A and B are shown apart, each in its own frame.
Chain A
Amino acid sequence: MCDATPLLTANNVHKAYGKSAEKVQVLSGLDLEVNAGEFVSIVGASGSGKTTLLHLLGTLDRPDQGTIQLDGQRIDNLPSERRDALRNGTFGFIFQFYHLLPELSTLDNVLMPQMIAHSVLGWLSRRKEVRRRGHELLEKVGLSHRLKHRPSELSGGEMQRAAIARALINRPRVLLADEPTGNLDSSTGQEIFGLLRDLNRHEGLTIIMVTHNLELAGDTDRMVRLVAGRVERATTEICDY
């Protein structure tokens, strides 16, 4: 075990979906600690609650019971404005189906979290700077030639790269990736994973990645297996950050 203060903690988290009669218990007493700079992969059978856990960690949903803490502060019970701000600034999300907004160009999609963060005036005053950062990020993920394209004109790999750039634009502390390679062929998946790996290694970004791909999961710092709504056991643990 590492002795550093965990960045993100889930304590005895319970979560169920559905009404009382057909209630499905997804998480039941889950505990998890993620340290700053760690690259954690979460694996488990379909329906084991991986995505739900990711949503709870990212304040998209609230646990029925238990707490989520960021830097030792509870974040699951914050008022919705504070949680909106956390999702905007502290967490970055990547989804299996990319979830880009189809009406906007690649660049506008990437800039969306910045637009959400600022009012019209704030946006206009720092537009140049933000656009430059958007360009830089798109260059970094290898999409500088696709700035004006709509998502429908991009390939799956390109869309996921754009989604990664979008997740990074507000310099988040934690990247939450929900099966980022799940919809891609293995070589493109490898490229995307390599991108995440580099971000973790070179920029110290904390990444929590849900995946079905055990090979990729094995390349992360730590693999967490969910069984029946709990963490089975940590298979690998590396403290070399």
Chain B
Amino acid sequence: MYKLLLCWRYLLTRYLALASIISVMLGVATLIVVNSVMAGFSTKLKERLHGLISDMVIESPNMEGIPEIQAKIERIRNDEFLGSKIEAMDPTLEVLALMQYRIQGETFTKYVKVVAVDPTQRSKIGGFAEHLLNPENRLHPSFNLTPEAQERYIYNHWEPPILQPSPPPHVPGEKPPPDPPPSVPFVPRGIILGNALASYRNPNATPVTPKEERDVYVLKPGDDIWIMTVSGQKLSPVVARFAVCDYFKSEMSEYDANYVFAPIDYVQQLRTMENRGTSIQIKLNDYRDAPEVKAKLKAMFPEPLYYVSTWEDKQGPLLGAIAVERGLLNVLLFLIICVAGFGILAIFAMIVSEKTRDIGILKALGASNGGVMKIFLGYGVLLGIVGAGLGTILGLVITWNINDIEIWLSKLTGHEVFPRDIYYFSTIPTDIQPMSVLLVNLGAVGIAVLASIFPAMRAAMLHPVRALRYE
């Protein structure tokens, strides 16, 4: 009984204990915030990555691609097992290309990846339509130019009419002159550019700048683009002209800065690869079936002519890197709590020496060594629990309000704390995982107990007579 009473009284009356509580609290709060933000980043990044690439893909390393691609898709769909597991498939033709455009009379060239797709099919796979900027395209994705874009294209290509000599007067009996050329101007096929290819970040943007004003577009819908790539049959260049019809903004810089989407039928013709594609994108009804579907597809499309992989296989190194990063960060942060643990150790050692006389009194009154040890162990547990509890509350509050805090800090310091152009996230993503909060709490209490063992043992071993004489 006296142990509980004394633990409680020591907690309430020792200001030194407050220092221990604060050190545990800060450690726990930091761990929770950092873990939540890291988990938020990794979840969001995974979501993004998975959002952009299909669940599964069959690829051909062959330059000529997968022949009879529609027939192969039909074959998969007609398979009893696969047909029931697969929700959608889309033939895709991907190729590296050079993109050329002119701005104010200057020519610019960029190296891009052309992803030729069927917009309707592709949007069923996911990771396409929802990232298009034109709201119309999000509902019904297509490569059609809007009327405004068409107008801009025509305006860009307007040339003063060449003065023709007036036609000779019609001589009756002779053939009439040919009709003039059609007045409907030529408009090329549309192309969707990665957002970062067509724009740059507004250098004056602040965290409070509205979304629409954060990007400055140099290529507007209707501007023309030249794509130069290689034929699918032999190494000969092919060139085609497109007009910008929309932007693709996934907020994944790798995609936004490198990808252009073009209509598959047109690119197939251009590269003389009719009814061929480099990959079949597959969306599953339930991603948990992936291993079985993968095995089945592998049997159907054997290596080395085809490669079947899941999105995790494709992003393996990146996902692995995230996991390693998080593990490493947790180890480092755990060291912070260990530092707090040593703080507790030092503070406890002080409290024990401050309480030496009281320990002597308790022993004179019949308290056992174990009892005295339990007072200080219990005190350690109590400090750990109170510190961890307060730290959890603090950590959760910070995590919930991290974006407001970030904006406030940015305003206060004049520096952008969370530079959005690096991460392509508009807010700091967080994901509070109850399990990790629990583990952090247990760890903190455990360390508090570990740190109190040594001083508690010292207290227990104090000789009562020496303790009583202690002044």
Interface residues in chain A, defined as those with a beta carbon under 8 Å from any beta carbon in chain B = 52, 55, 58, 60-61, 80-81, 84-89, 93, 95, 99-104, 108, 112-113, 115-120, 122-124, 166
Q: For the complex, is B363 an interface residue (Cβ under 8 Å from A)?
A: yes
- Chain A hits for B4, CB < 8 A: 120
B369 at the interface (CB under 8 A from A): yes
Dominant SS among interface residues on chain A: helix
Q: Is the CB of B364 within 8 A of A93?
A: yes
Interface of chain B: mostly helix, strand, loop or mixed = helix
The complex places the Cα of A86 from the Cα of B367 at a distance, in Å, of 11
Within 8 A of A (CB), among B7-61: 9-10, 13
A118 B5 Cβ-Cβ under 8 A: no
Question: Do A55 and B465 contact each other (CB < 8 Å), given the known contacts A88-B365, A103-B9, A116-B365?
Answer: yes
| Whole-angstrom CA separation of A102 from B354 in the bound complex | 12
The residues of A that contact B1 with a CB separation of less than 8 Å are: 115-116, 118-120, 122-124
Residue contacts A-B, CB under 8 angstroms, 14 given: A55-B465, A58-B364, A60-B465, A61-B464, A81-B368, A84-B366, A87-B365, A93-B365, A100-B361, A103-B9, A104-B6, A113-B365, A115-B5, A116-B371
B361, A101: Cβ atoms closer than 8 Å? yes
Are B366 and A88 interface neighbours, CB within 8 A?
yes
Are A117 and B13 closer than 8 Å at their CB atoms?
Answer: no
Flag if A60 contacts B363 (CB, 8 Å). yes
**CA of A95 to CA of B13, assembled, Å:** 24
Given A112-B365, A113-B366, check contact A99 B468 (CB 8 Å).
Answer: yes
In the complex the two chains form, what is the Cα distance from A85 to B365 in whole Å?
9
Chain B contact residue count (CB 8 A cutoff): 25
- Interface centre among A61, A112, A118, by most B CB within 10 Å? A112
| Given A87-B366, A118-B1, residue A61 in contact with residue B357 (CB < 8 A) | no
- Please name all residues of chain A whose beta carbon is closer than 8 Å to the beta carbon of B367 when the two chains form the complex: 84, 88, 116
Min distance, Cβ B120 to any Cβ of chain A, angstroms: 72
7 pairs of A and B residues whose beta carbons are closest in the complex: A88-B366, A115-B2, A123-B1, A103-B9, A115-B1, A87-B366, A99-B361
B residues near A61, Cβ cutoff 8 Å: 463-465
CB-nearest residue of chain A relative to B367? A116
B64 within 8 A of A: no
**Chain B positions within 8 Å of A116 at CB level:** 1-2, 362, 365-367, 371
Encode contact with A along B299-342: 1 for CB under 8 Å, 0 otherwise: 00000000000000000000000000000000000000000000
How many angstroms from the CA of A104 to the CA of B360 in the assembled complex?
A: 16
Task: Return chain B residues, CB-CB under 8 Å to A112.
Answer: 2, 362, 365
Distance in angstroms from A58 CB to nearest chain B CB is 7
Contact residues in A for B464 (Cβ distance below 8 Å): 55, 60-61
In the bound complex, CA of A102 to CA of B366 (Å):
18
- Is residue B358 within 8 Å, beta carbon to beta carbon, of the partner chain? yes
Q: Known: A118-B1, A120-B4. Is A103-B10 also a contact (CB below 8 A)?
A: yes
User: In the complex, what residues of B have CB within 8 A of residue A102's CB?
Assistant: 358
